[in-house]
Amino acid sequence: MAVRSDLIVEPALLASELSDTTVVDVRWRLGGPPGRDDYAAGHLPGAVFLDLDTDLCGPPGKGGRHPLPDPGDLQRVLRAAGVRAGRPVVVYDLGDGPAAARAWWTLRWSGHDAVRVLDGGFPAWVAAGLPVTTEVPDPAPGDITVRPGGMPVLDATAAGRLAGEGVLIDVRAAPRYRGEVEPVDPVAGHIPGAVNLPTTDHVEAGGRLRSAEALRSRFAGVGVDQGVRVGAYCGSGITAAHTVLALNLAGHADAALYVGSWSEWITDPDRPVA
């Protein structure tokens, strides 16, 4: 079972580890404005900014709105940010969790096994009275070698199969799951057989993740028990990464992410929609 401190970190502990940690700011909003503006206004000391859309994902297309990045492109981005194979990384976002979770997942997928999310993100850091700066660091080049495969991944075929043979969690809001509304993608509905458990249910006030015990109970409520294969999807693989992080905290280390998610699923009109 995953140890909670291996996955998330509290602001006070991170403050004591800053000199030995690569910190990455991935503040992001669906539809903007750009997180780089937030970074320019103030960020954690030593933090570098990476754009979730352009630095950590591939270009949108048949693979969905936020597909996997090209490994070579990702390696160049991470090395420029100073990411080193033997040095821990902490990622943070606006406090809601999905952007940081997708960055966490991408780094873990690329082969870096010492990555944590700042629980509560930038707001939690500020609320703790910890220092903020506008100084932009010039990190020494990193040495990470991107080796894809560090995290379980689902493609469309595997996601459809998992919905019938295991538990596939649709983490979007219930009205989107039911197909009553669809504010982003051109087709409404969900993958047949998927269960709905919105990722917003996994956090407490302030964006902090619930305890491992509480998360285990919530996942068990939709059939996720030890030994049951589980995966998650959303609109484009961002908020679903947050659910994968929560699943890991609950002890389900084999939880898979359908990166293309709904935005890829609907590119093939032969795929069924419920």
Q: Which residues pair with 61 in a beta bridge?
A: 64
pLDDT tens-digit readout, 126-153: 999 999 999 999 999 999 999 999 999 9
Q: What is the pTM of this model?
A: 0.96
The C-alpha atoms of residue 186 and residue 262 are separated, in whole angstroms, by 10
pLDDT at 4: 56
pLDDT tens-digit readout, 85-138: 999 999 999 999 999 999 999 999 999 999 999 999 999 999 999 999 999 999
Task: Name the percent of the chain lying above pLDDT 90.
Answer: 94
Q: Judge whether 57 counts as a catalytic residue.
A: no
pLDDT at 14 over 70: yes
Q: How confident is the model at residue 207 (pLDDT cuts 50, 70, 90)?
A: confident
The C-alpha atoms of residue 37 and residue 167 are separated, in whole angstroms, by 39
Alpha carbon distances (Å) from 103 to 68, 109, 121, 228, 229: 11, 10, 13, 26, 23
Identical fold, 4-127 and 153-265: yes
pLDDT at 175 over 70: yes
* Residue ranges per structural domain of the chain: 4-127, 153-265
> Catalytic one among 26, 124, 168, 234?
234
The CATH class of the 4-127 domain is alpha beta
| CATH fold for domain 153-265 | Oxidized Rhodanese; domain 1 (3.40.250)
